[in-house]
Amino acid sequence: MWLPRLAVFLLAGGSIAALLADLYEIAPMHAVFWLVSVPSMIVLAALATLPRVDPGLRARIRVGAVAGLAGLVGYDVVRIPVALAGQRVFAPIETYGLLIADAASSSPLTSTLGWLYHLSNGVTFGIAYAALFARRPVVFGIAWGLLLETVALLSPFADRYGLSGRPVPIAIAFGAHLFYGWPLGHLVHDFDRTAAALPRLRVTATIAFAAALILAWQQPWNVAPGERPDTPVTIVRTDRFHPEWLRIRAGACAYVDNRSAVTYTTPAGPVPAGARSPLCFTTPGIYRIRLTTRPYSGGFIYVGAAGHGRGESGRP
C-alpha cells in the first residue's frame, strides 16, 4: 500500500511545485501552475471520488484535505492580529497571484488567484501529510507544520520575501505554523472518526465554500476605471499605492503617478508631487516602498530576474 500513498504524496506536491519552480528559476510560476499544479489537483479530486479507487486511499485524501483546510484557518487567523499591528504577513500571497496571472500590477483578479493558490497549498499539504502519517500522534502534525516553514527558510523564499536574518518575522512564521500543524495533526490522528464525519460530497462542498468566500471577498470581476494590469504604473492620491503591487524585471523601472500635493522620499528615489516618477531596480527581490511611517503606506515592487518570466520592460 505504500506505493499508492507515495503517489498521492507526490501529486499533493504539485501545488507547491509552481512556486518552487519559480523560486529556483526553473520555470515561470504561471507555466508550472497551469501545466502541473492544476492537473495534479484534478487527479487528486478524481482519486478522492472514484469508487474504483481503494477506499482507504480515498479516505486519506478526503481527511487530509479537510484537515489541511482546518490547519490553514488556524494558520491565517492567528496572524490577523499581527497584520493589524502593521506586519505585512500576508504579502507573499499577493505575489502568488501576480506570478500566476503573469501580470505587471495587482488587481482583484491577481489577489483572488493568490488566495486560491494559498488555499490550494494548505489543502494539499494536508493531503500529503495524511497520505503518509494517518493515525500518527498529534505531535507529528505539529512537526510537519514546522518542517514546512523550515524548508521555506532554507530555500530562496527566505531571501525573496525578506525573512533572512530577521528573527521577529521568522518567529511569527514558525508560531503560525504551529497553528497549522496542531489542527491538522489532531484531525489526522483521529482518522477514523474524522473520515466517518466527512462524507465525500461534504468534503467537496467545504472546499468549494472556502473558494467561494475568497471570490466574494476579492471580487475579481471588479476592475477600477483606467486600471491596466499590463503596465507597471501605480497612482498615489494620499500615501498609498493603487494598485498596491507592481512587477518588473531587474534593470527596469516602475512608475509612481503622484497625484497628491506631497513630495515623498524613498530609498529607491524621490516621488515629487504632481508628477510621474520612475523607480528603477537592478537587483531581483521584493521592495517595500514606504511613503510615510504608517504601516500600510506606499506599496510593493516585485523585481524578477532579468529574462525570467514575463515582467515588464518598465515603459508605461
pLDDT tens-digit series, residues 203-228: 888 999 999 999 999 999 887 655 56
For residue range 42-87, list pLDDT tens digits in order: 999 999 999 999 999 999 999 999 999 999 999 999 999 999 998 9
Q: List 285's β-bridge partners, or say none.
A: 303
Q: What is the mean pLDDT of residues 193-199?
A: 89
| Residue with cell string 506536491 | 13
- Report pLDDT for 228: 62
Separation CA 208–CA 199 (nearest Å): 15
Question: What b-and-e string marks burial along 141-175, b requiring 16 or more CB atoms within 10 Å of the CB?
Answer: bbbbbbebbeebeeeebbebbbbeeeeebeebbee
- Report pLDDT for 311: 52
Of 167 and 231, which is predicted with more confidence? 167
Amino acid at 97: G
Amino acid at 120: S
- Report pLDDT for 54: 96
Q: Above 60 in pLDDT, residue 3?
A: yes
Model pTM?
Answer: 0.94
Kindly report the average pLDDT of the chain as a whole number.
93
User: How much of the chain exceeds pLDDT 70, in percent?
Assistant: 94
Q: Above 70 in pLDDT, residue 270?
A: yes
Q: Above 60 in pLDDT, residue 124?
A: yes
At 91, the pLDDT band (50, 70, 90 cuts) reads very high
Name, in order, each residue with C-beta under 8 angstroms of 42's C-beta and a sequence gap of 6 or more: none
Separation CA 90–CA 108 (nearest Å): 15
**Segments of the chain assigned E as strands:** 233-236, 240-249, 253-258, 264-266, 269-271, 275-280, 285-289, 298-304
- Report pLDDT for 315: 47
Counted residue by residue, the chain has a size of: 316
Q: What is the mean pLDDT of residues 93-114?
A: 96
The single-letter DSSP state of residue 105 is B
- Are the C-beta atoms of residues 61 and 10 closer than 8 Å to each other? no
